[in-house]
Structure 1
């Protein structure tokens, strides 16, 4: 089993609460209230700004050029792919990039992103990647779950078709494959087996914070 698969198994309850949250199910069947998606989308844009910093921190913590390139791949996926998707969707309901960036961070956004940055500052590259993994690989897994036959199989009028298509699509899935392989490589080089219990605690906490982020969006539509 990969390190990611072992961490998922060890933190199964927290992982399943994240990837099978009511927010995710609402995305999948299109029943998610628009207010929930709008709050999530704005906050996730602000979230990604901080996660871009975390990937830049991973590059700083890297001691090999290969690790720097791996960190840069994740940074590029955020800055050049995910953030552009968010702005395209926000523009549909009249919010510019300046509007979104001027929004206040929700406490759930602050709690998650600053925790990850703290893990990165106080720990090593492996610990930082374990903290980041539930976001990258979790969204890839959710994308596959919501579009098992590909986004083309979803109805054209599905309200969240473009979002699902981004995370189920080949580009993001390849980023996830690379992140999975890099985590395994880091685990081998940084003694993951001897540190597995602590790495599991980090992974479980990140999954809990991801579920809390969904809940923040979900609450806006209730």
Structure 2
């Protein structure tokens, strides 16, 4: 990963009221905006999503969940306070219950056989995505938190935007929006931002740069993940 395009201190000098997480989003460009505004996310809210594209997406997201659960486990172990451990534990519980039920019902509606989603292999993009998150979470709390922030903040950004539209008629689209636009999810993402602000502010410049480079790479992989679903893996 290349160095961050500018330091946090330089960003602060030009944006006096900016948060550490504002700097991370700026450091994630152009991928940050591309991920949050990807045509795939717009098609969810417009109800123009092709079933085969959404099935590709859900299968890869489902095989990724096991790794995400592991990432949360590492973050829970390294979290510096009981309050942080509690927040992360609650999200892990949601991920393995309510969200898992959504996947199973959606696969049935989309006609995806059980053996397909249970035995699916991760694509190259999904492997890179999961690998970065796992390596970062095992390295430092700050780097792992930056990965989680990118993934969840991106989904909140497009989820809240698409929630302003009339809900899609297909439940698996409308419920996916609701899962990423409600007060519970927004509250969790806002907590991650506050936690990242606090943790990031305390880092030295070299560590801040590493966190920003990790966030940038996560943004790039978010775009690639949507691209794979939208167009099919390894297609232009």
TM-score of the superposed pair, with normalisation by structure 2: 0.82
In the TM superposition, what whole-angstrom CA distance separates every residue of 1:112-138 from its partner, at most 9, and x where no partner exists? 0012111122x2101110122111111
Once the two structures are superposed, the pairs formed by residues 38-53 of structure 1 within 5 Å of their partners are 38-53=55-70
2:76–2:89 Cα contact (<8 Å) kept: yes
Structure 1 residue aligned with 2:137, among 85, 109, 120?
120
Structure-1 separation of matches of 2:135 and 2:178: 32
Return the offset for 1:11. Answer: 2.1
> Which is higher, the Rg of structure 1 or of structure 2?
2
Correspondence 1:143 to 2:159? yes
1:26 alignment partner, SS class = helix
Q: Which residue of 2 aligns with 1:105?
A: 122
- Separation in 1, partners of 2:67, 2:108: 21
Match of residue 90, structure 2, among 68, 73, 98: 73
Secondary structure at the counterpart of residue 154 of structure 1: coil
Shift of 1:198: 2.1
Q: CA deviation at 1:195?
A: 3.3
Contact 1:15 1:207 in 2 (8 A): yes
Give 3-state SS (helix, strand or coil) of 1:105's partner.
coil
| 2:186 corresponds to 1:173 | yes
TM-score w.r.t. the length of structure 1 is 0.86
Q: Hey, what does 2:212 align to over in structure 1?
A: 200
Give the length in aligned residue pairs: 217
User: Per-residue CA shift, 1:69-90, capped at 9, x if unaligned?
Assistant: 2321332232233322222211
Distance 1:102 1:5, change over 3 A: same
Gaps of 5+ in 2: 1-17
Corresponding residue of 1:129: 145
Whether contact under 8 Å (1:143, 1:165) holds in the other structure is yes
Q: Hey, what does 1:37 align to over in structure 2?
A: 54
Q: Over aligned residues, Cα RMSD in angstroms?
A: 2.4
The aligned residue for residue 176 of structure 2 is 163
Deviations 1:123-169 (A, max 9, x none): 210111012211111111110111136xxx33546872222122112
Question: Which whole-Å CA distance do the structure 2 matches of 1:129 and 1:55 have between them?
Answer: 9
Match for residue 217 of structure 1 among 221, 229, 232: 229
The structure carrying a bigger helix percent of its residues is 1
Does the C-alpha gap of structure 1 residues 186 and 84 become closer, same or farther in structure 2, counting only changes over 3 Å? farther
SS of the equivalent of 1:187 reads helix
Gaps of 5+ in 1: none
Q: Tell me the CA shift for residue 32 of structure 1.
A: 2.2
* SS of alignment partner, residue 12 of structure 1: coil
